[in-house]
Amino acid sequence: MAVEVTANGKTTNYQTVKEACQDHDVKLSTYYYRRSTGKSLEESLRIIDKQKSLADIAKINGISYEKLRGRLRHGWTLEQALET
């Protein structure tokens, strides 16, 4: 199934969802879980505008701001904090 992804004004076409996930460093199972919870294609691939606040990032990823901030303060990477 072909996938068209637009990020930062640039559109990229992928032949498969797996290819898009690999390019965006997102596990395929994580992508499908996010889609099943109603997240958009871009949210599922975690294409985030760099201008978004930490609170916006937390909301997009279904985690409370306080929990995300606490994990980051404990030295977790953003990726770890959002996937756990």
pTM for this structure?
Answer: 0.53
At residue 51 the predicted structure's pLDDT band, cuts being 50, 70 and 90, is low
Q: What are phi and psi of 57, to 5 degrees?
A: -60, -40
Per-residue pLDDT, averaged over 41-58, amounts to 74
Q: Give the count of alpha carbons within 13 A of 12, CB side only.
A: 15
The first and second tokens of residue 82, run together, are 């959002």
SS3 content of the chain, % helix, strand, coil (to 5): 50, 10, 40
Checking if the pLDDT of 18 tops 90, the result is yes
- Output DSSP code: residue 43: H
Contact 48, 34 (CB under 8 A): no
Q: What are phi and psi of 79, to 5 degrees?
A: -60, -50
